[in-house]
Structure 1
């Protein structure tokens, strides 16, 4: 039996009791904001009065005429009233700044300067009779008292909060820069923190005698790990958010080799607003060592071509496509159309971007790029202006067994997207390629190379800018080497490596996507933009490091190179010469154009039918 009656549901409402009754912590009442703000205003008024008394005694030895005394009383009264009035009008006494912060100090100085100028005009220019020295000296003396009281309060509060509970773990922070200082302050003021900072390590000679909140620099990299052990610490937290992977790996080897724990903070691009949180502290991941370069992107240029535009991403449910979608969304496109043939993958990326996964909006496009008719309907409905083409089959051994599938998706599917992009006047088209397209030896490499050439041909015949972006392996993608190794280690081994000397380039997914967006801003028609992947990494070294981290005794088995697999990947073909122009991590090469009508003859000669 069916019914149109609404489905009953229960709505739970939560009311925070801390909003309707006093909050008690550590058996002490936390004073209300009103009382705290009134206290600050009273403190400033007292400093104004005491400042006047101090100046009278120091400058005039309290020897003034009755007329002068009357003018001074009037000056102090008017000045105090102006101070309170201006403070509340500017919201200075209404929680505008944290007490004792640099922002509050700047506003405090401006407030006293403004009141001092107004009072000077009133009592020296308009109503003469006040000694000039009073009007000139009282404001600076009073502001010193006000600032000193605030800073003393902050110092005492920091120490009191830091001593509420006995920490369980002494740590040393590697890096006495901004991130290290932020982390120290958070730990010092968090009563629930399990950490206590007992020292800093920093390689800058200018910081040898530095103390931050009473915590001193106890050594540099050369003194590891002795300085850490001498300080009574069991853990080192790396607080250099721009550290290179090689540096992180070397420090990790030294720290963990001494039996100490090594933790780190994520790159600044992965932290909200670039601010450090205690929850950001985590164990070192292999991605920190293999990737983690500081990628500098021209945000203005990216925003110019993405902001307010209709953007289509094919393969949006994949590792690259989903991260690209998240990053593009931050630049405020008019519409972000996410296309994939996997509905579960679309559900996951919609959930990660919008916080919902209902899949009930037209910007979630379920389609296969092999289906030209279905693809056309999506272009007709949304008329995208920017296209990032990330849909592809990528697993080399699988495509060696099923080359026709690679041809249908990576070549013909790409041609479908290119043809419709040209028909609907797409302004910027970015084809996501791979380093295996450089002098290809595999089905994956050859099909992706053909996609590059088709993109170059379309660049000659379409109105917009059509380009390809080529990079190597990305860390953490589905079916990647790291996932395989971790699964093998969890299962007790063995870990399989094709060859003891095989190397690969690696980059994290966020790094790659940032540079893909940047390439779209600077790439010329028909170009292949090659991302700088750093230095190649031995796969055996990665396997050994992962096994060491696991603490298990895992065997490594060498299986031999697979058909079509290279010992060492190349980012450039032998005939290619990369040139760098506007970005230090992006090189520009050209790909020979391939007309679509040449594909049939090429496919027939290869397959014999």
Structure 2
């Protein structure tokens, strides 16, 4: 059976077939430009007295220029298909080639031009004229091509918010793709410097406050946010305005996805709840990261979890000598291996099945593999579950951390990053208290070794297993109701990739015994998230308030009462210190007693429910 070629293969084959014709035509235009330029140069030199023009010497000079243009243009790859037609790169190469041709011709013309009846200034006059003709031909051809490849009449008319580099790149891609589903009709930007900007014929028509007028004038049905530094609060503002006007809001892929080649700037997607509550673009200092990861043996505990697996994906980009992914969850390890190695065969040394509670197994792994950098992400994290089973929190989050610290010290690990949580700041829960002890143990090991053993603390990450967003999505899909603990409860949010970027960055700038606290932006009210998700689903779902659970805070904190918020090295990372605790001082019974005797909530967090739960319809809550 004959194999049918895809449209891409047919297009590529046609392009290759047309390539010799295109390049020969290009040279023909350049040759014609030289001929016309030399003729005009002599006419100008003799002040339009054609009787003084020696035709045969002029024709010989034209022939020499054409031959030289072919040879030198070939050397500069002008006629070998290296450059995209009409780009600055091609113009730069063309200018260099034309100047070389002119220099080569100018020497004999100046020396022997008079005896050959050729004015000595001919080439000097012809040079700018010829170059102008060549550039003009390319520009006209580019305009012709771009007109032919514009999106069709059925393309969706969109506004592009952002007239900077990303906006310009996006518009250029849209306007040169005949199959693009989007046709940009106007630019929007709030910066006065971009007020008169025009990209590929698309002009800035105003700011966000002018959105209603611009949408009406252009008949646009969607708005695309093309700003790399757009954070969650900015996107919420744009989304709210778009919803008010009936415009679909779309966003570009994350910048790291574009830079890695995973996505193109034109791969637009609808705005998601993750964008609206947890988008915090991170400026990463690659130099400081590469210095402590490149060429090193790196081990990640909890590599099968949401944070651990993303950490592994990011670490592998910095060229470690070896990446060791350790977890007790074999399925999680398989997913982590898929993200780093592109397969999930589980038959290679990069995956290690072990439990941080198992001291002999952990020590054997460290002795054999001898890591130099450790990211400790293994932990139990579900607050209500640990309230029921505090023993498990102690075994994993406290003793498990101590086991990893001891194993790291034995083999001389010089950088150890303990992944902590905002619940360790002024803790009120079993989870928070256990992670607080883990921070103190890490600080103790730093003082013992003098090496960079530090902790990194951040709030909720969006999309992790068992977290709020997947739970809300499942409840909405099932028809509800959505359960929220308290109408005023707030949490900090950040996407997993952005949180891990800061974790990796923190490992490069942290000092021994420090706790580095990631800037999570402004806290978000959970009720607002629930209402937005219901609205985006288009369903009528009720919201049930269940009351805060034991140990749960109304408002989380990232910084403890006695901790500083200095940011000496990175604008989104604060440096603080916690008191250390040695293993000899660990007292599980005293630890549990302190938890039970301490205030378990903050800011009057208990919601009086009476005999039943409070129920509020999403539509009603939006009116409050």
TM-score, normalized by the shorter chain, greater than 0.5: yes
**Which has the larger displacement, 313-322 or 174-183?**
174-183
The yes-or-no answer on 1:152 pairing with 2:140 is yes
The yes-or-no answer on 1:40 pairing with 2:32 is no
Conserved? CA contact 1:339–1:365, under 8 Å: yes
The yes-or-no answer on 1:90 pairing with 2:76 is yes
Secondary structure of the 2:488 match is: coil
Secondary structure of the 1:430 match is: strand
Post-superposition shift, 1:352? 1.8
Distance 1:533 1:220 in 2: 28
Secondary structure of the 1:582 match is: strand
Conserved? CA contact 2:113–2:120, under 8 Å: no
Post-superposition shift, 1:177? 2.0
The yes-or-no answer on 1:563 pairing with 2:566 is no
**Which has the larger displacement, 110-119 or 46-55?**
110-119
Distance 2:9 2:585 in 1: 75
Post-superposition shift, 1:491? 1.0
Secondary structure of the 1:333 match is: coil
Count of residue pairs the alignment pairs up: 591
Conserved? CA contact 1:431–1:455, under 8 Å: yes
Distance 1:22 1:476 in 2: 40
Residue 306 to residue 284, structure 1, CA distance change in 2 (3 Å): same
Distance 1:90 1:367 in 2: 59
Distance 1:144 1:78 in 2: 20
The yes-or-no answer on 1:574 pairing with 2:558 is no
Match of 2:347 in 1: 360
Secondary structure of the 1:216 match is: strand
Residue 240 to residue 306, structure 1, CA distance change in 2 (3 Å): same
The yes-or-no answer on 1:166 pairing with 2:153 is yes
Distance 1:472 1:140 in 2: 63
Distance 1:19 1:197 in 2: 24
- The gaps in structure 2 that reach 5 residues or longer are 594-624
Conserved? CA contact 1:425–1:464, under 8 Å: no
Post-superposition shift, 1:230? 2.4
- The gaps in structure 1 that reach 5 residues or longer are 1-11
The yes-or-no answer on 1:436 pairing with 2:423 is yes
Distance 1:210 1:341 in 2: 56
Match of 1:9 in 2: none
Match of 1:376 in 2: 363
Distance 1:47 1:573 in 2: 74
Offset from partner CA, 1:514-541 (integer Å, 9 cap, x none): 1111111111111111111111111111
Distance 1:191 1:41 in 2: 28
The yes-or-no answer on 1:424 pairing with 2:404 is no
Match of 2:603 in 1: none
Aligned partner of 2:211 among 218, 224, 229: 224
Conserved? CA contact 1:183–1:277, under 8 Å: no
Offset from partner CA, 1:233-286 (integer Å, 9 cap, x none): 111111122212111111111111222212121332232358973652111111
Distance 2:582 2:24 in 1: 77
Which residues of 2 match residues 61-140 of structure 1 at below 5 A?
61=47, 63=49, 71-125=57-111, 130-140=118-128
Conserved? CA contact 1:241–1:266, under 8 Å: no
Offset from partner CA, 1:160-190 (integer Å, 9 cap, x none): 1116x42242222122222222222222222
Aligned partner of 1:585 among 565, 572, 576: 572
Residue 210 to residue 23, structure 1, CA distance change in 2 (3 Å): closer
Match of 2:259 in 1: 272
Conserved? CA contact 1:268–1:274, under 8 Å: no
Conserved? CA contact 2:166–2:265, under 8 Å: no
Distance 2:541 2:472 in 1: 11
Residue 34 to residue 335, structure 1, CA distance change in 2 (3 Å): same
Aligned partner of 2:198 among 199, 208, 211: 211
Secondary structure of the 2:299 match is: strand
Distance 2:406 2:215 in 1: 62
Q: TM-score w.r.t. structure 1 length?
A: 0.92
The yes-or-no answer on 1:481 pairing with 2:468 is yes
Aligned partner of 1:326 among 305, 313, 317: 313
Match of 2:616 in 1: none
Distance 2:187 2:553 in 1: 45
Conserved? CA contact 2:299–2:374, under 8 Å: yes
Secondary structure of the 2:576 match is: strand
Q: TM-score w.r.t. structure 2 length?
A: 0.90
Distance 1:324 1:377 in 2: 23
Residue 581 to residue 19, structure 1, CA distance change in 2 (3 Å): closer
Distance 2:233 2:452 in 1: 37
Post-superposition shift, 1:65? 8.9
The yes-or-no answer on 1:51 pairing with 2:40 is no
Match of 2:490 in 1: 503
Conserved? CA contact 1:389–1:431, under 8 Å: yes
Residue 421 to residue 174, structure 1, CA distance change in 2 (3 Å): same
Match of 1:603 in 2: 588
Conserved? CA contact 2:41–2:123, under 8 Å: no
The yes-or-no answer on 1:191 pairing with 2:178 is yes
Post-superposition shift, 1:15? 10
Post-superposition shift, 1:91? 2.1
Distance 1:22 1:519 in 2: 48
**Which has the larger displacement, 321-330 or 52-61?**
52-61
Match of 1:245 in 2: 232
Match of 1:3 in 2: none
**Which has the larger displacement, 264-273 or 296-305?**
264-273
Conserved? CA contact 2:76–2:93, under 8 Å: no
Conserved? CA contact 2:113–2:119, under 8 Å: no
Residue 314 to residue 22, structure 1, CA distance change in 2 (3 Å): closer
Post-superposition shift, 1:441? 0.9
Post-superposition shift, 1:511? 1.3
Match of 2:393 in 1: 406
Residue 298 to residue 206, structure 1, CA distance change in 2 (3 Å): closer
Residue 125 to residue 348, structure 1, CA distance change in 2 (3 Å): farther
Secondary structure of the 2:375 match is: strand
Post-superposition shift, 1:143? 1.3
Post-superposition shift, 1:578? 2.5
